[in-house]
C-alpha cells in the first residue's frame, strides 16, 4: 500500500532517494521482505527500528506508519507499508528475476491475502512459544498512544489499527495467549498445510518448479511454526522437505537467524511446557 504524502507527518522521508527499508531483525514481515530483496539482488539502505524498545511507537515512526508496524519501504520518497504489498510493488519495480509465474499473476493477490489473514494466528503462536507469552505485552500508555494517534491511511482514519489494539488489549487482559487461541490458530495452519502437502507431491515449490513470491511468504510462517514445535515431519513430510530446502539457501538462512536471547527464552518455554504438558502438540491435539 502506497501512502499519500498527506499521510506522512515525518516529512524528511519524502526527500529520501533510493530504496530504504525500515525493519527489525526478528520481525516476521521484515524477514519476508529482506528475503525477497535478497532473491531479487536489489540494493537497499537499512534503517533498523527496535521493536523491543518500542521505537515503533515513537512520534518519528508513527509519523511514517501510524500502524506502528514494520517493515516500511521508502522508494524515492514514496512510502509503502504492509509486507505483501511491498513485495508486490518490488516485483513490478524489479521484474527480474521473475518471482510471480505468469499463469498465477492474477491469483497472487488473493493467495497472499490468505497468508495475511493468518497473521494474528502466527502472532499468537510466536508470543506463546517463542517470546515467552507475557514478555511482549504493551503498557497501557503505549496502547493509548497508538489509539489516540491521529495518523491517517490514504487520508482516512485507519480501521486496521483496531485489530492491533485488540490483540494487545487481549494479551494484557488474558494474562497471555490462551490455550483455546493456540488450538484455533494451529488448526487453521494445519488445514492450509494439508493443501500445500498435496501441491508439493508433484511440484518442487508451492507454485511449480521455481521459487515464487508465495514460497517467500509462507517460509516465514513455516519457520516460526517449526521453532514452536509444529510436527511438519510427521504431518506434512513434503512441506518439511520444502522448508528444509529453503532454509539451506543463503538468501533465507541469514535473515531468520535467531538472536541468542530469544533462543534462551524459547528453550526455557519448551522446558516449562514439557513439565506442564502444554506444548503446541498437546494443546492442539495434533
**Cα-trace Rg, the chain:** 19
Q: What is the mean pLDDT of the chain?
A: 95
Domains 5-102 and 112-137+176-284 in one fold: no
Whether 133 has a pLDDT exceeding 80, the answer reads no
- Residue 134, pLDDT score: 63
The arithmetic mean of pLDDT across residues 94-120, rounded, is 96
Neighbouring C-beta atoms of residue 9, cutoff 10 Å: 16
51-60, Cβ contacts within 8 angstroms, sequence gap of 24 or more: 51/24, 51/26, 51/27, 54/138, 54/142, 56/24, 57/142, 57/145, 57/146, 60/10
242 vs 232: CA distance, rounded Å: 10
For 227-269, the pLDDT digits (tens) are 999 999 999 999 999 999 999 999 999 999 999 999 999 999 9
Whether 6 has a pLDDT exceeding 80, the answer reads yes
36 vs 44: CA distance, rounded Å: 12
- Confidence (pTM): 0.95
- Residue 146, pLDDT score: 96
Q: Which fold has domain 112-137+176-284?
A: Glutathione S-transferase Yfyf (Class Pi); Chain A, domain 2 (1.20.1050)
CATH superfamily of 5-102: Glutaredoxin (3.40.30.10)
For 178-214, the pLDDT digits (tens) are 999 999 999 999 999 999 999 999 999 999 999 999 9
Domains in the chain: boundaries? 5-102, 112-137+176-284
The packing angle between helices 237-247 and 213-228, to 10°, is 100
Amino acid at each position: 500500500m502506497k501512502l499519500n504524502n498527506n499521510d506522512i507527518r515525518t516529512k524528511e522521508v519524502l526527500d529520501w532517494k533510493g530504496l530504504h527499508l525500515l525493519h527489525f531483525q526478528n520481525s516476521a514481515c521484515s524477514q519476508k521482505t529482506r528475503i525477497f530483496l535478497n532473491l531479487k539482488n536489489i540494493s537497499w539502505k537499512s534503517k533498523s527500528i527496535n521493536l523491543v524498545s518500542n521505537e515503533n511507537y515513537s512520534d518519528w515512526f508513527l509519523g511514517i506508519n501510524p500502524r506502528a508496524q514494520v517493515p516500511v519501504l521508502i522508494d524515492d520518497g514514496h512510502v509503502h507499508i504492509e509486507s505483501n504489498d511491498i513485495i508486490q510493488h518490488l516485483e513490478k519495480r524489479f521484474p527480474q528475476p521473475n518471482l510471480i509465474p505468469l499463469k498465477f499473476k492474477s491469483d497472487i493477490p488473493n493467495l497472499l491475502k490468505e497468508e495475511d489473514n493468518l497473521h494474528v494466528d502466527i502472532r499468537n503462536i510466536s508470543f506463546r512459544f517463542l517470546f515467552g507469552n507475557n514478555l511482549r505485552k504493551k503498557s497501557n500508555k503505549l496502547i493509548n498512544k497508538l489509539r489516540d494517534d491521529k495518523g491517517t491511511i490514504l487520508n482516512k482514519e485507519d480501521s486496521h489499527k483496531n485489530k492491533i489494539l485488540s490483540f494487545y488489549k487481549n494479551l494484557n487482559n488474558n494474562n497471555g495467549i490462551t490455550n483455546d487461541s493456540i488450538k484455533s490458530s494451529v488448526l487453521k495452519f494445519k488445514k492450509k498445510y494439508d493443501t500445500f502437502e498435496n501441491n508439493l507431491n508433484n511440484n518442487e515449490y508451492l507454485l511449480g518448479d521455481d521459487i515464487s513470491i508465495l514460497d517467500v511468504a509462507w517460509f516465514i510462517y513455516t519457520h516460526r511454526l517449526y521453532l514452536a514445535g509444529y510436527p511438519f515431519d510427521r504431518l506434512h513430510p513434503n512441506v518439511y522437505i520444502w522448508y528444509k530446502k529453503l532454509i539451506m539457501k543463503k538468501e533465507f538462512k541469514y535473515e531468520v537467524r535467531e538472536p541468542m536471547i530469544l533462543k534462551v527464552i524459547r528453550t526455557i518455554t519448551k522446558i516449562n511446557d514439557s513439565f506442564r504438558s502444554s506444548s503446541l502438540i498437546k494443546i492442539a491435539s495434533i
